[in-house]
A and B are shown apart, each in its own frame.
Chain A
Amino acid sequence: KAGVTQTPRYLIKTRGQQVTLSCSPISGHRSVSWYQQTPGQGLQFLFEYFSETQRNKGNFPGRFSGRQFSNSRSEMNVSTLELGDSALYLCASSLADLGPSYEQYFGPGTRLTVT
């Protein structure tokens, strides 16, 4: 069974631009979560989508948004990029929505550099 895939793997953008990252979950998984990983803050939860609906949201500004399609693939968008948005963005999928006992499978991440 193929794992979680993320595209692109690397991205360089300029401050003020917007970016869209894509995530394809493991086949059969309906939940997709997004995380931002930086050396200073570690792994921080952005949001989770389940059956095309945002179920949970972390503490990030509205510039960070996402969506999920009927095939469970998900996209994450960041508008008006700031230098501080440079990070590794991880996607994780799971069978069920984020409840008390979920188990997530992570993708390789997209390395975003904002200049």
Chain B
Amino acid sequence: AQSVSQHNHHVILSEAASLELGCNYSYGGTVNLFWYVQYPGQHLQLLLKYFSGDPLVKGIKGFEAEFIKSKFSFNLRKPSVQWSDTAEYFCAVNARSGGSYIPTFGRGTSLIVHP
């Protein structure tokens, strides 16, 4: 069965610091990768996605992620975080499993940015 690991459960940064959140998945076939964000009191929303092509994908609010197939990784990055980036971040994989596509989410990383 496929699985998604997010290595950092809690991250605390100061504004303007750089951010990198790790995400690794276990699945040998073709995958589609996503990062979702949940701001306090808001719905889960899509941050960025990778389907194919350029492994460096850019999302909303200055976020980007790089797909490294050989490392089964899809790490999220932002060069300079803001207080408003405080949220929970989820990595997700959509991959074929027994004839169906089953979305699998990581357990999330809680990011707190101090002003």
- Closest Cβ of chain A to B53, distance in Å, is 12
Q: From B13-21, B54-62, B76-84, B103-111, give the one contacting chain A.
A: B103-111
Measured CB to CB, the nearest residue on chain A to B4 is A42
Q: How many A-B residue pairs have CB under 8 A?
A: 58
0/1 per residue, B6-41, Cβ < 8 Å to A? 000000000000000000000000101000100000
In Å, the complex CA distance between A32 and B60 comes to 24
Per-position binary interface string of chain A over residues 32-56, scored 1 when its CB falls under 8 Å from any chain B CB and 0 otherwise: 0101000001111100000000011
Q: Does A106 lie within 8 Å of B45, measured CB to CB?
A: yes
**Is there contact, CB below 8 Å, between B43 and A56?**
no
Q: Are A56 and B102 in contact (CB under 8 A)?
A: yes
Contact A58 B106 (CB under 8 A): no
Q: Mark A74-115, 1 if CB is under 8 A from B, else 0.
A: 000000000000000010100000111111111111000000
B82-108 residues with Cβ-Cβ distance < 8 A to A are 90, 92, 94, 96, 100-108
Residues of A within 8 A of B45 (CB): 105-106
Q: Is A3 an interface residue (CB 8 A)?
A: yes
Contact of B43 among A3, A98, A99 (CB under 8 A): A3
Taken together as a complex, chains A and B put the C-alpha atoms of A58 and B101 apart, in Å, by 10
CA distance A24 to B55 in the complex (A): 35
Residue B68 lies at the interface, judged by CB distance under 8 Å to chain A: no
Nearest neighbor of B36 in chain A, beta-carbon distance: A106
With contact pairs A100-B96, A107-B43 given, residues A44 and B49 touching in the complex (Cβ less than 8 Å): no
Which residues of B approach A to under 8 Å, CB–CB? 30, 32, 36, 43-46, 49, 51, 90, 92, 94, 96, 100-108
Contacts A103-B49, A104-B46 aside, 10 further interface pairs with beta carbons under 8 A come to A42-B108, A43-B92, A43-B105, A43-B108, A56-B100, A90-B44, A98-B100, A98-B103, A102-B32, A106-B43
